[in-house]
Amino acid sequence: MAPGEPPTRTWCGTRLKRVAEGRAAARELGMCRLLALVAREGAQPGRFLEALKSAAERDPYLPSGGSHRDGWGLAAVSLETASGSELLLYKSGKPMWEDLNVSVLQQLLRSPLAMIAHVRKASSGMPRGVGAAHPFAVNLGDGGLLVVAQNGTVSVDGLLGMIKRKVEPGNVDSYLYAVALAERLEEAGDLAAALEELHGELEEQRAVMRM
Q: How far apart are CA 28 and CA 9, in angstroms?
A: 28
For 105-134, what is each residue's pLDDT tens digit? 999 998 999 999 999 988 777 788 999 999
Q: What is the pTM of this model?
A: 0.80
Query: Is there a contact between 125 and 108 (Cβ–Cβ < 8 Å)?
Result: no
Res 27 pLDDT > 80: no
Query: Is there a contact between 39 and 45 (Cβ–Cβ < 8 Å)?
Result: yes
Which one has a higher pLDDT value, 7 or 186?
A: 186
pLDDT number for residue 54: 93
Q: How far apart are CA 89 and CA 77, in angstroms?
A: 9
Which one has a higher pLDDT value, 207 or 64?
A: 207
Res 71 pLDDT > 90: yes
